[in-house]
Amino acid sequence: MSKTNAENRKKLLNPHTVGKKSFALVRNKLEKTKGNVSLKEIFVETRARKPGRLYKESNEDTTSKIAEMEEIETQLSADGSQLVDAYSAVMGPEHPGRLRLYGRGVTKTSLKGKVGTFEPTSNATNDVVQEMQERIQKMEEKWRNKRELCEREVLCEADITSKVIEKLQRA
């Protein structure tokens, strides 16, 4: 088992160096110090070595990708447009149902409505509350309309049954 794990680790092109520490903890630490954090910053942080420590294997691929990301960021800052994420431009699109650099079990739907951190902001919470109140009002209106329609139908049925009873009594 350990041999296969060692072989699989050698196949990794950009191995992380954070060990057992989760990516969520790394992201949280960076957000506390810097605020909003990009994927590029997390990639660099999770691939950085302590001073004096070297990779056992070559890390040329990782360093070249980091250099590419920094080059793209400098070009974007010179242009003044921040529409393209440097990490996505270098690493390519995400695989369906996965998010890189967020850790295990994190999906796009679990991040919806979350801005920067995993806790919803007050703005996002207020928007959600307002949306839910609107939905409740629409549902109450539908319920009132259905109840009125049902009451009309019952009255109509009562009129019909009373007329039928009258005809039967006359006969």
Q: CA 62, 63, 64, 67 torsion: positive or negative?
A: positive
**Residue 49: partners with Cβ closer than 8 Å, 6 or more residues away:** 17, 55
Mean per-residue pLDDT for 20-43?
83
Distance, CA of 105 to CA of 102 (rounded, Å): 8
pLDDT digits (tens, 9 = 90+) for 53-93: 766 666 777 788 888 888 888 777 666 655 567 777 888 88
pLDDT value of residue 13: 72
Retrieve residue 138's tokens.
Answer: 């629409």
What's the domain count of the chain? Answer: 2
109 with 125, same domain: the answer is no
Q: Quick check: 149 and 141 in contact, CB under 8 A?
A: no
- Same domain as 89, residue 131: no
Range of the domain at 87: 2-114
Note whether 13 and 70 are same-domain residues.
yes
For 120, other C-beta atoms within 10 Å of its C-beta total 14
- What pLDDT, on a 0 to 100 scale, did the predictor assign at position 110? 77
Let me know whether 110 and 127 are in one domain.
no
The verdict on 131 and 85 lying in the same domain is no
Both 137 and 106 in one domain: the answer is no
Residues 6+ apart with CB under 8 A from 64: none
In the block, tokens 């009594």 appear at 169
Predicted local distance difference test score (pLDDT) of residue 79: 63
pLDDT of residue 18: 75
pLDDT of residue 58: 66
Is 84 within 8 Å of 72 (Cβ atoms)? yes
Residue 4 in this model has a pLDDT that exceeds 70: yes
pLDDT tens digits along 107-155: 777 777 665 544 444 555 677 778 888 888 999 999 888 888 877 777 7
Residue-level pLDDT at 74: 79
Shared domain for 47 and 108, answered yes or no, is yes
Query: What sign does the CA torsion over 69, 75, 78, 84 have?
Result: negative
The whole-model pTM stands at 0.54
Q: How does pLDDT run across 92-116, given as a tens digit for each residue?
A: 887 787 788 877 777 777 777 665 5
Please tell me which residue, 159 or 136, carries the higher pLDDT value: 136
